[in-house]
Amino acid sequence: MSRIISRKKHKFILSIILMLMLSLFIGECFATPSYTSSTATRNSIAYNWTFYAQGLLENNCLAYSIGNETDWIWPWGGSNPDLNQTLYWLQSVMGFTGQTYGSTPYQTCSVTAYGWSNNVTHFARVLSSNSTWATGTCRAKWGRYEIFSHSNLNPYTNAYGPLIVRFY
């Protein structure tokens, strides 16, 4: 009886060690969850928000907006793009069509961009939209913070700025 208990103990210890070994390698491979923001921080960034998911540190808003939830995508240089650079990349490279305010009728869109004409700061993935400029719902990765849903397409304070382009 004591031999059986001893063998079981031996197997248990070995399995703990093997798990520790595995975690050494897995720790190098797995992505890291995003930072957690406070409610005060969230309220300073958006007028409306609902927490959706933790997201990954390695993933940015541009990548997330076009459906990539693992990478950091940035085709520009050290400065944020202006409106023309944003339109060029999303249209000529990624195949979207952009609509700025006033270029009606607004099509059902899938990506939105935020900021100002000389400084585009942020991108979101559209969940629903119609022919009204800011009506719809969207979801976005907030830099190295989490992923949030919004109840309209123009939810941000000057932290990110106003809706500037709708892409379909």
Binding site for another protein (CB under 8 A): 6, 10, 13-14, 17-18, 20-21, 24-25, 28-29, 31, 35, 41, 44-45, 56-62, 70-80, 88, 93, 121-123, 141-145, 159-160
Nearest residue to 54 via CA among 32, 74, 75, 71: 32
Nearer to another protein, 18 or 103 (CB): 18
Q: Shortest Cβ distance from residue 124 to another protein (Å)? A: 11
Q: Are strands 147-150 and 136-141 parallel, antiparallel or unpaired?
A: antiparallel
Q: Report whether 49 contacts 141 (CB < 8 A).
A: no
Nearer to another protein, 89 or 168 (CB): 89
Q: Shortest Cβ distance from residue 45 to another protein (Å)? A: 7
Nearer to another protein, 108 or 157 (CB): 157
Nearer to another protein, 121 or 149 (CB): 121
Q: Shortest Cβ distance from residue 9 to another protein (Å)? A: 9
Q: Shortest Cβ distance from residue 32 to another protein (Å)? A: 9
Nearer to another protein, 25 or 67 (CB): 25
Q: Shortest Cβ distance from residue 121 to another protein (Å)? A: 8
Q: For residue 48, which phi and psi values (nearest 5 degrees)?
A: -140, 140
Return the ∠ at Cα 167 (arms to 104 and 89), rounded to 5°.
125
The DSSP-derived string for 83-147 is HHHHHIIIIIIT---EEETT-PSPPP-SEEEEEETTEEEEEEEEEEE-SSTT-EEEEEE-TTS-E
